[in-house]
Amino acid sequence: MNTANLLLISNSTNSGEGYLEYCKQDIADFLKTYGVSRALFFPFAAVTFSYDEYERKVQEKLLPLGVEIESIHRAHNAQQAVRDAQAIVVGGGNTFHLLRCIQDLQLMEAVRGKALSGAPYVGWSAGSNLACPTICTTNDMPIVEPESLSAFSLIPFQINPHYLDAHPTGHAGETREQRLLEYIAANPHRYVAGLREACMLRLTGGQLTLHGNRPMRVFKAGQPPQELQPADNLQFLLR
């Protein structure tokens, strides 16, 4: 049984809403389930604004709900900060930049071990990608080159956050679905969960559930894509 406790969110902001507005209560409630009052935040997906600003944005949303955020970029000893953390929170942005920074700090195994020991892990967008075996199903441009594409592997399947069904008028390029069909053709052993916006996956006590008001589109080589609802059994994704 998977011993990780995860909240993996597709996106941070819905159209017309404030930052983390739709999911801040879900994050706080999830962390409080495990008695967490202070979480270690990873801001490294930020590229065009500072880590200080990212920490402040998240703190402003979660502190009123009883969860204090401390960014790892302030830690004198990053390895020790991970070991001491009550929970790990990984924000969205550019997935390649996020992964590269965590690799540079040599924190891959430390974070993975922490999460697999049961410490709660929350990620949105790029932070959700990092929970997968690799970051190969991110939507981001590779603005930096990580050592490898391997991620924390807290779950055995891939997530594509911000999954879109749309094919804009006049756009002659590939759709999101076509890109993911390419991925499963090259990686036939792996499932991909297309996680639409305003949706999230929660793994608690070995039980995987979908939350939100939209279905999730699941891809696997040799099978037609499936539309799965929040009430559906998702345990097959963990095998």
The residues carrying an active-site annotation are: 125, 140, 162
What DSSP string describes 191-210? -EEE--TT-EEEEETTEEEE
The answer to whether 193 and 158 are in contact (CB under 8 A) is: yes
What is the spatial distance between Cα 95 and Cα 1, in angstroms, rounded to a whole number? 28
Q: Which amino acid is at 224?
A: P
Element (H, E) at 24: helix 24-33
Phi and psi torsions of 30, nearest 5°: -60, -50
